Amino acid sequence: MLILTPHATQMQCRDYGLFLDTTQAFKRLKLTILEGTLQSMSTEQWAHFIVQVPIGFNRIDILWPLMQLLQFKF
């Protein structure tokens, strides 16, 4: 599940592999990962990322590759 809010983007992970795949997607986009954490909440894991993006980078530039990643996983 991907949750977009005006101030943050959160992604719910069901496995650790998705967390790693997400970091690789950020690196391919040439984003700087300032912080990446994985928290266990009940039976699922939540990944939280803080990334630095270049000027002019839009949310859709990040959202589209993540949606493709999720499509291949499920």
pLDDT value of position 40: 81
Residue 59 CA from chain centroid, whole number = 11
| Average pLDDT estimate for 61-66 | 85
2-4 and 9-13 beta bridge pairing? antiparallel
Q: Give 8's pLDDT tier (boundaries 50, 70, 90).
A: low
Residue 2 and residue 38 in contact, taking contact as beta carbons nearer than 8 Å: no
Cα gap 62→60, rounded to integer Å: 5
Residue percentage of the chain with pLDDT more than 70:
76
Would the pLDDT of 72 be above 80?
Answer: no
Q: What homologous superfamily does CATH list for 2-73?
A: ACT domain (3.30.70.260)
The reported pTM is 0.68
